Amino acid sequence: MLHFDCDYMEGAHPEILRRLAETNLEQTPGYGCDTYTEHARELIRRACEAPGAEVYFLVGGTQTNATVIDGLLRRHEGVLAAESGHINVHEAGAIEAAGHKVLTLPEYDGKVRAADVGHYIEEFYRDETWPHMVAPGMLYISHPTEFGTLYSRSELEELHAVCRRHSIPLYLDGARLSYALAAEGNTLTLPDIARLCDVFYIGGTKTGALFGEAVVITRPELLPRFFTLVKQHGALLAKGRLLGIQFETLFTDGLYLRIARRAIAAAMKLKEAMLAKGYRTHVDSPTNQQFFVLPNREIDRLSRYATFELWGPRGEQESIVRFVTSWATEERHVDELIGRL
């Protein structure tokens, strides 16, 4: 059976495992106060060209989103996000559990538009009952989005500008950031993102790490005492160096991007084959998540050979499906899948 369900089905890149084994019996202080973690921070600052940034390592995406958003918002504020944003759908209410409303914006293939953000905020304050409503206190975006799509540099610049104009922080969820950076046609570099976002995270779980997300805070004054908040959210790893070592490895010799490119190549090969077969994409994604509209018959047939995700409800004749490649996807598996189409 071939597996294209998601990008966290394997363990870690072998180089990461090697480094974990190599350092295994060394003794280091806990909670990220070790030299591996410090080095990883430095590598990330350099990759982002953000020497003043603070970098924290957390374990998973939901806890990262919950902790950062909780830290950025005041009690009377909510977070603006696309209707389809991960925090609005698949995080079991973690944002609300910390007391904050998710204020939804229309989504266009998973993306929000600066004009909609501006419109929301302006209409909000134009409504004279606004003091009775949850104030838009920050903007959350995901890049790539939940549909695998990407913001262009000018789009992110516009989002940055509208947030600055209204004095709210811009936070980017980069759970799959590697696949954005490695995508063909991508116009946003890590330094761009660091320049345009107040906080963002670089996902490790889905790109070669056993687990781990690196939170980059380019305006540290927005998140004072973040360490304590991480602890309060249960997101502080005792053996913090495990995160440091993993990100140190990913940000050494360009490993992070290199392995992401493999996933992209596999995804593009699959997309071309699907299009060649006459199927159409549901969304045109340049990253490792691919969405196709397939006849139900074809879905049922393919399911005998491969696992993938039914995206949304099954249609009458055809349905949307998602195939995901990862840093670990082998070319022969893609070829085998294509052969089954």
Look at the alpha carbons of 141, 145, 147, 152 in this order and tell me if their dihedral is positive or negative: positive
Task: Rank residues 186 and 205 by Cβ distance to its own copies and give the closer one.
Answer: 205
- DSSP per-residue codes, 22-90: HTTT----STT-SHHHHHHHHHHHHHHT-TT-EEEEES-HHHHHHHHHHHH--TTEEEEEETT-HHHHS
- Specify whether the backbone of 106 is left (phi greater than 0), alpha (psi in -120 to 50) or beta: beta
60 touching its own copies, by CB under 8 A: yes
Mark 135-164 with x for binding to its own copies (rule: CB under 8 A) and - for no binding. Answer: x-----------------------------
Window of 21-29, 145-153, 259-267, 297-305 that interacts with its own copies by CB under 8 A: 21-29
Tell which one of 80, 102, 150, 168 touches its own copies (CB under 8 A). Answer: 102
User: What are residue 294's DSSP bridge partners?
Assistant: 319
- The interface with its own copies within residues 192-211 (CB under 8 A) comprises 205-206, 210-211
93 touching its own copies, by CB under 8 A: yes
- Please enumerate in sequence order all residues whose Cβ is within 8 A of that of 124, keeping only pairs 6 or more positions apart, or say none: 130, 133, 135, 136
Task: Report the alpha-carbon distance of residue 76 to residue 239 in Å, rounded.
Answer: 35
How far apart are CB 57 and its own copies at their closest, in Å?
A: 13
Window of 39-47, 90-98, 144-152, 258-266 that interacts with its own copies by CB under 8 A: 90-98
50 touching its own copies, by CB under 8 A: no
Task: Rank residues 135 and 341 by Cβ distance to its own copies and give the closer one.
Answer: 135
328 touching its own copies, by CB under 8 A: yes
